[in-house]
Structure 1
Amino acid sequence: ELKSHLQREGRLSKEDCLELIKNVTEITSNEPNLLRLNDPITVVGDIHGQFYDLLKLLDVGGDPDTTQYLFLGDYVDRGSFSIEVLLLLYAIKLNHPTRVWLLRGNHECRQMTSFFNFRDECECKYDMTVYFAFMEAFDSLPLAAVINGKFLALHGGLSPELKVLSQIGGVNRFQEPPRGGLFCDLLWADPLDESKDDVGQSPEDSFTPNDVRGCSFFFGYSAASKFLDRNGLLSVLRAHEAQLEGYKMHQTNQKTGFPTVITIFSAPNYCDVYNNKGAVLKFENNTLNIQQFNFSPHPYHLPNFMDVFTWSIPFVSEK
């Protein structure tokens, strides 16, 4: 069983790995940019290579053999087990192509994985062939989903260019995400921190440049509520930002009494230092339940996937 094999730090052969990536890429390539899904469904935020926490998450969220899952991206980087995360999710996707859905996050691209550690992890555990196969697989991932016709789920957030949902279908997703525009914003945008968000802002001010990310925008309450109104939606479900409790309900829409934005983050004790909880959203009969979980211990990995022997040489030679 792949799950327990990976859990024991086992590897898949390079051939099996490439075969799995290829088979999943064929499936995801045929999915639309915007998925239309119905509950019951479990929605999952960032995982960031935290394989041992993903195992816990699948316990909490429901058995993937019988549970519909929507993952909002950021499977890779930061944690040391991104390949294991992807192989397990891909195996589940292959077994349940119409029950498990994988969206693209801002880390599922060449630029981020080269800057952070996923590219190095591929080189260390396999080679660049596997890395390039993963990059093509990432290019094929859908960008967003609508649940029950009422909730827009995506990785990052809204865009000043996005007026109606059908525009998402017009994006050419089979490429490295650009540094600006609709495609970029869906993966990168953040809701404005409420303390900074003046509810009475004029519509022009409802998007401000995102100086924290260095690209995309912050979208304010007025931007979110106008967009939801115009499209007959209740809320935006997104990931992309670490939360101490694993989730955050952003400003309540005065008309509906429902949060305009819900952030969900599924990597507990993020980077081994944040001490945050992870959470998943469970949708059933139009009701929303949030389930939190704590981190699980994982094998210790040295920086850049060195082994202990290589790592200790500098200390020995200094003596």
Structure 2
Amino acid sequence: MDLEKQEQSAKLKDLGNQELKKNDFNGAIKFYTEAIQVYPTAILYSNRAQAQIKIENYGLAIDDAKKAIELDKNYLKAYYRRAVAFSAILEYKKALADVKIVLSRAPSDKHAQTLENRLVKIINQIKFERAIAVADKGSPISTLDLESFGIEKSYEGPELEIKQVDKKISVVMTQEYISNMVALFKKGANLPKKHAFAIVAAANEVFKAQPSLVEIGLKRDSTADKELQLDTVEKITVCGDTHGQFYDVMNLFKRFGKVGPSHTYLFNGDFVDRGSWSCEVALLLYCLKLLYPQNMYINRGNHETNDMNKVYGFEDECKHKYNEKLFLCFSESFNSLPYASLIGQEYLVMHGGLFSSDDVTVDDIRKINRFRSSQPPKEGIEMELLWTDPQYDNGRSASKRGIGMQFGPDVTAKFCENNNLKAVIRSHEVRMGGYEIEHDGKLITVFSAPNYCDAQGNLGAVIDLTLDNGEYKYDCRTFTHVEHPNIPPMNYTKNNLGF
């Protein structure tokens, strides 16, 4: 009987392996799960852990690797995959401990050697940065002296009018400048450093002036004191993660309309990291914010943070294309980004999701002091706004990511009822169709990076919000990826930790 089960399980494992090779990671997980149910083995749990890593379910990957180790303490792939998953959630010391186990038994393992070297480097870098942070708590932007910057001789683009008064920097942004900048980026060139610094610094001033909860709406009767009614706007488009996929962002604007007085956009976080054009995406969005301050809004995502940028590519990309100082200025500007937006007092938009307590209200988001620390707290509503995910079952549970938690339809329904909301819009997760309407229609996930990381094969999507007889209605619209130069995701990162 056991032999029959082993043979059946092995056939299902082979099907899972085929799906894994095709980058159908959910399909692979399905077959591995069926195989485990028939006859569990360390290899099956470890293979499923690998598939979970590919779709960023790092918490589930850690659980699977642990089960594999429990079944076979000598199965080294499980230790390695758990190390990779720990690295992805920034648990570097735990990851290093697992890698050392691999190397103690297989000292010539090249993958483990590489991961150990990178983990040691990043742990030491963090120690160094913490040590100097005590002495240097100043603002990188406030130390800029743009008068001392020259313009690189290779630059052939338009001039940018820059003003610096009492350490505050502003620019005169034009559509001509943005069009020429886009053309420059498509040639593979960079802005002059002086321009890049000025754009980030000027955008930071605009973000700092916004509240932690931005409240906007289309023109209609409203009793909300804090809502900015966009008189000339006919449509608000909400975009999810774009992750440095510059060419897909350009296609998004081509398909769904340009930013302007009649069309407002809200980008819901995670516009950097992973993709290899994060600088281009960030500078484009910042320029649009400067040109159309009431028609371009950006929420903070979990990837607009130093810890994530250090691992997922943005820091190294900034250093490669510009310099470390520009990354530090971007980091300061990320800390000025709002945590959430409220559209028409009816649709709350945040990157991650809802909260571990039913007592949290929209007013608590309004009260967030995002300038009390240089990075988001590791717990509390700020962390949850950036990190949490929905689940199908009622209640709350531990996160499949290993960070934050998950919330069910009952949590969403209660939050919407308590805050008089029609729905919550969030991003943070790949959806193969680009979006998903969840939790009885009260939660919508939108993801705007098609064929995420050149591997997932997913559609991208946006959500258009318009008025119909004075009532908001939404329309989820999808798009496919477009071709881009032959540069892989995370091309510039020096801290690729195996995922």
Give TM-score scaled by structure 1 length: 0.88
The answer to whether the 8 Å contact 1:180/1:215 transfers is no
Measure, in 2, the Cα distance between the counterparts of 1:305 and 1:44: 24
Q: Is 2:113 aligned against 1:113?
A: no
Decide whether the 8 Å contact of 1:245 with 1:277 is kept in 2: yes
Task: Tell me if structure 2 keeps the 8 A contact 1:73–1:108.
Answer: yes
Give the letter aligned to residue 192 of structure 2: S
Q: Which amino acid aligns with 1:4?
A: A
2:482 is aligned to: 296
Equivalents in 1 of 2:240, 2:185: separation in Å?
Answer: 21
Q: 1:216 to 1:63 in 2, by over 3 A?
A: same
1:160 partner SS: coil
* Pairing 1:89–2:277 present: no
Paired letter, 2:426: R
Map of 1:169 onto structure 2: 366
After superposition, the Cα gap between the structure-2 partners of 1:182 and 1:304, relative to the gap in structure 1 and judged at 3 Å, is closer
Q: How far 1:300 sits from its partner (Å)?
A: 1.4
Hey, what's the Cα distance between the residues in 2 that align with 1:11 and 1:277?
Answer: 29
Paired residue for 1:31?
Answer: 210
Amino acid at match of 1:180: E
- 1:275 is matched with 457
Percent identity over paired residues: 37
Question: Relative to structure 1, is the Cα distance of residues 302 and 154 closer, same or farther in structure 2, using a 3 angstrom cutoff?
Answer: closer
Q: Which residue of 1 aligns with 2:11?
A: none
Alignment of 1:63-82 (within 5 A): 63-66=258-261, 67-82=263-278
3-state SS, counterpart of residue 215 of structure 2: strand
In structure 2, give the amino acid aligned to 1:165: V
* C-alpha deviation, 1:178, in angstroms: 1.6
Alignment of 1:1-319 (within 5 A): 1-39=180-218, 40-66=235-261, 67-161=263-357, 163-174=360-371, 175-192=374-391, 194=392, 197-198=393-394, 206-210=395-399, 212-252=400-440, 259-285=441-467, 286-301=472-487, 305=491
1:25 Cα deviation after fit? 0.1
Structure 1's 220 and 77: CA in aligned 2 closer, same or farther, altered over 3 A? same
Cα pair distance change 1:274/1:302, threshold 3 Å: closer
2:287 match: secondary structure:
helix
Point out which structure has higher relative CO (alpha carbons under 8 A, 6+ apart): 1
Determine if contact 2:276/2:489 at 8 Å carries over to the other structure.
Answer: no
The separation in 1 between residues aligned to 2:429 and 2:354, in whole angstroms, is 14
Deviation at 1:7, TM superposition (A): 2.0
By how many angstroms is 1:172 displaced?
Answer: 2.1
Deviation at 1:304, TM superposition (A): 5.8
SS at match of 1:3: helix
Query: 1:305 offset after TM fit, Å?
Result: 4.1
Q: Tell me whether 114-123 or 1-10 shows the greater mean CA deviation.
A: 1-10
Scaled by the length of structure 2, the TM-score of the pair is 0.57
| Change over 3 Å in CA distance of 1:246–1:304 after alignment to 2 | closer
Residues in 2 aligned to 1:302 and 1:240: alpha-carbon distance in whole angstroms: 21
SS at match of 2:349: strand
Residues 4 and 102 (structure 1), Cα distance of their counterparts in 2 relative to 1, 3 Å cut: same
Letter in 2 for 1:235: A
User: What is the alpha-carbon distance in structure 2 between the residues aligned to residue 90 and residue 304 of structure 1?
Assistant: 22
Render the CA deviation track for 1:166-215: whole Å, top value 9, x for unaligned: 101222213311221110000000011x2xx14xxxxxxx22221x2222
Identify if the C-alpha distance between structure 1 residues 304 and 71 changes in structure 2 by more than 3 Å, giving closer, same or farther.
closer
Q: What secondary structure is seen at the aligned counterpart in 2 of 1:90? A: helix
Q: 1:92 to 1:33 in 2, by over 3 A?
A: same
* Larger of the two Rg values belongs to structure: 2
Aligned length: 289
Write 1 or 2 for the structure with the bigger share of helix.
2
CA distances 1:220-259 after superposition (whole Å, capped 9, x unpaired): 111110010001001100000001010001021xxxxxx1
Tell me the SS of whatever aligns to 1:38.
Answer: strand
Q: Distance in 2 between matches of 1:238 and 1:142?
A: 14
Q: C-alpha distance in 2, partners of 1:49/1:218? A: 26
Deviates more, 1:165-174 or 1:39-48: 165-174
Gaps of 5+ in 2: 1-179, 219-234, 493-499
User: What whole-Å deviation, never above 9, does each CA across 1:114-153 have from its counterpart, x for those lacking one?
Assistant: 0111111011111110110000000000011111111110
Secondary structure of 2:384 counterpart = helix
For the Cα contact (< 8 Å) 1:151–1:235, is it kept in 2? yes
Check conservation: 1:60, 1:291, Cα contact below 8 A.
Answer: no
Any gaps of 5 or more consecutive residues in structure 1?
Answer: 199-205, 253-258, 307-319
Partner AA of 2:211 in structure 1: P
Runs (4 or more) in structure 1 with deviation over 6 Å come to none
Conservation of the 8 A alpha-carbon contact between 1:41 and 1:282: yes
Letter of the 1:155 partner, please give it: H
